[in-house]
Amino acid sequence: MLKIGCACKVLEKVENIQDLLKSPRFGLREIKEEVKDIEDALDNLLPGKGPLSTGPFNIMDGPVAIKVSVQNVGKGCIDAVVRLFDIECCPPRQVDCKVLRNIGRSCAEDTVLCANEGIFEVVICPKPDKAPIRGSVTVKRVAQANPGPNAANLHPELVFRASDLLPVVCPFCKKKKRDHDCCDPCSEEPDCGCDFGCE
């Protein structure tokens, strides 16, 4: 069975098959086996098995409210830990965290995280660890007391659909361990000032 961890590996495998088609020893049976392996690998790439991540995104004009929706697409109930990391820091640090409990089969729950300016990443960690989930993330600027007439047009929402979420590549879902990193930790995040239950 073909083990593929990312979409670039699938493309590489397709290119290899195209090269093998020119070979006189490579026939229909081999092509069918290769295509089956690619189909199996693509099934593993589809969003579903958690944890999932937005990847890095930049907030240049905070504060913002980050609404995260998580859907259970597996059997039974699951919990999900939704974490917001400031990845501009070295090492990255968690700036907000919410727990969604008892998400039923085919049901969804949502929560709101808050952030100011910087480079961030949202990570959805299901419990049990590899539970099938889908998610979406919407980043929206928090309304100011006296916004200008064009404020809505100047600050559109940033939306990560279920198909945009990526497998987690950093150990953001693992239990915290003391990291002996040589970088200085970032200063404390100031309160974002929104009224969406941020702590």
pLDDT in tens, the chain (199 residues): 455 555 667 777 777 777 777 777 767 777 777 777 776 666 555 546 778 999 999 998 878 999 999 999 888 899 999 999 999 988 899 999 999 999 999 899 999 999 999 999 999 999 998 888 989 999 998 865 555 544 444 455 788 888 788 888 777 776 554 443 333 444 444 443 333 333 3
Q: Does residue 152 lie in a domain region?
A: yes
Residues 13 and 111 in one domain: no
Residues 116 and 18 in one domain: no
- What CATH number corresponds to the domain at position 93? 2.60.120
Residues 41 and 67 in one domain: no
Place of tokens 């919407």: 138
Residues 68 and 140 in one domain: yes
Q: Does residue 181 lie in a domain region?
A: no
Q: Does residue 172 lie in a domain region?
A: no
Residues 93 and 112 in one domain: yes
Q: Does residue 78 lie in a domain region?
A: yes
Residues 41 and 56 in one domain: no
Nearest-CA neighbor of 56 among 85, 99, 26, 76? 85
Q: Does residue 180 lie in a domain region?
A: no
Residues 62 and 125 in one domain: yes
Report the domain count for the chain.
2
Residues 88 and 149 in one domain: yes
Residues 17 and 115 in one domain: no
Residues 134 and 152 in one domain: yes
Residues 101-118 as b/e (b if ≥16 CB within 10 A, e otherwise) read eebeeeebbbbbbbbbeb
Residue 189: C-alpha distances to residues 3, 63, 93, 104, 162 (Å): 41, 11, 10, 34, 28
Residues 38 and 57 in one domain: no
Stated pTM of the model = 0.63
CB 54 within 8 A of CB 160: yes
Q: Does residue 137 lie in a domain region?
A: yes
Residues 32 and 66 in one domain: no
The residue segments making up the domain with residue 19 are 7-45
The pLDDT value recorded for residue 192 is 39
